[in-house]
Amino acid sequence: MDHQDLLASIWESLRAATTQRTGFTLATLATVTAAGQPRARSVIIRDFATDPERVYFATHTASDKLPEMLARPTVALMFYDAATSVQLRAEGQAQIIEDPAERHRVWDTLAPHSRELYAPTAPPGTPLETADAPDARTAFERFAWISIRLDRLDWLDLATDPHQRWQFQRTGTTWTGHPVVP
Ligand SMILES: Cc1cc2nc3c(=O)[nH]c(=O)nc-3n(C[C@H](O)[C@H](O)[C@H](O)COP(=O)(O)O)c2cc1C
């Protein structure tokens, strides 16, 4: 497989992760805190777009990861699909989508149980005994839509013998890649 074929299959696996539940649907997002500490958590990848390639996830506007991404937009994502034994690591630039029309478009696609996640008015992590009551009517105000433009990829396939690992880098609109020692 040449690097263009492999890249195309990576984009296809990210696209598939947003239309069905695959191993790549649940990613690990790593940010850096104000104190310079790494912090990782699970997020659901809900959309994939090209030109440039980016993935999207939703979060609460008051979650810690928002100010972390504003202060240091370079983030890391890790995907692992146990069904294919493929790990994909990515680094890229996070952007908080402000456009209300775009936020509304995505909000309209969310299932009721997903919208309920934005009913809490207190920031995630607030001690329960001090948290104000949830308000489902204003939930949309707390819905944040984040894109991560992918700039570097590290793909590791453990299903082959020997294992295969490729690294890719985007410069402008061009991706270059090469196989590396796993
Ligand atoms: C299976 C699973 C899926 C999750 N998906 C999301 C998500 O899409 N967006 C999100 O903000 N948090 C999601 N979470 C919760 C986060 O992992 C995290 O606990 C929460 O967002 C608070 O993180 P923060 O304090 O670093 O902002 C998910 C957790 C699990 C276990």
Q: For every one of its 182 residues, what pLDDT tens digit does the chain have, with 9 covering 90 and above?
A: 788 999 999 999 999 999 999 999 999 999 999 999 999 999 999 999 999 999 999 999 999 999 999 999 999 999 999 999 999 999 999 999 999 999 999 999 999 999 999 999 999 999 999 998 999 999 999 999 999 999 999 999 999 999 999 999 999 999 999 999 99
Instruction: Give the HSE-up count for residue 84: Cα atoms under 13 Å, Cβ half-sphere.
Output: 16
- Rounded Cα gap, residues 58 and 56, in angstroms: 7
Q: Which of 150, 144, 145, 146 is nearest to 51 (CA)?
A: 150
- Rounded Cα gap, residues 101 and 121, in angstroms: 22
Task: Give, in order, the Cα–Cα distances in Å from 40 to each of 31, 55, 100.
Answer: 6, 17, 28
Question: Using a 6 Å cutoff on CB, does residue 26 contact ligand 1?
Answer: yes
Question: Using a 6 Å cutoff on CB, does residue 28 contact ligand 1?
Answer: no
Question: Using a 6 Å cutoff on CB, does residue 21 contact ligand 1?
Answer: no
Out of 18, 25, 37, 41, give the residue to mutate to test ligand 1, the one with the largest number of ligand atoms within 8 Å of its CB.
41
Centre of ligand 1 from the C-alpha of residue 27, in Å: 10
Helix (H) or strand (E) holding 68: helix 65-71
Instruction: Give the HSE-up count for residue 35: Cα atoms under 13 Å, Cβ half-sphere.
Output: 4
pLDDT value of residue 149? 98
| Ligand 1, atom 10: closest residue by C-alpha | 59
| Ligand 1, atom 31: closest residue by C-alpha | 42
pLDDT value of residue 2? 82
pLDDT value of residue 170? 97
Q: How many CB atoms lie within 10 A of CB 155?
A: 23
Question: Using a 6 Å cutoff on CB, does residue 31 contact ligand 1?
Answer: no
Fold of 3-121+135-180: Pnp Oxidase; Chain A (2.30.110)
**Which atom belonging to ligand 1 lies closest to the Cα atom of 41?**
17
- Rounded Cα gap, residues 33 and 177, in angstroms: 31
DSSP 8-state code for residue 107:
H
Strand partners, 172: none
Centre of ligand 1 from the C-alpha of residue 9, in Å: 27
Question: Using a 6 Å cutoff on CB, does residue 123 contact ligand 1?
Answer: no
**Which atom belonging to ligand 1 lies closest to the Cα atom of 46?**
8
Centre of ligand 1 from the C-alpha of residue 60, in Å: 9
pLDDT value of residue 1? 73
Beta-strand (E) ranges in the chain? 26-32, 38-44, 47-49, 54-60, 74-81, 86-97, 143-157, 164-171, 174-180
Q: Which of 11, 117, 9, 115 is nearest to 55 (CA)?
A: 11
DSSP 8-state code for residue 137:
G
- Rounded Cα gap, residues 145 and 98, in angstroms: 8
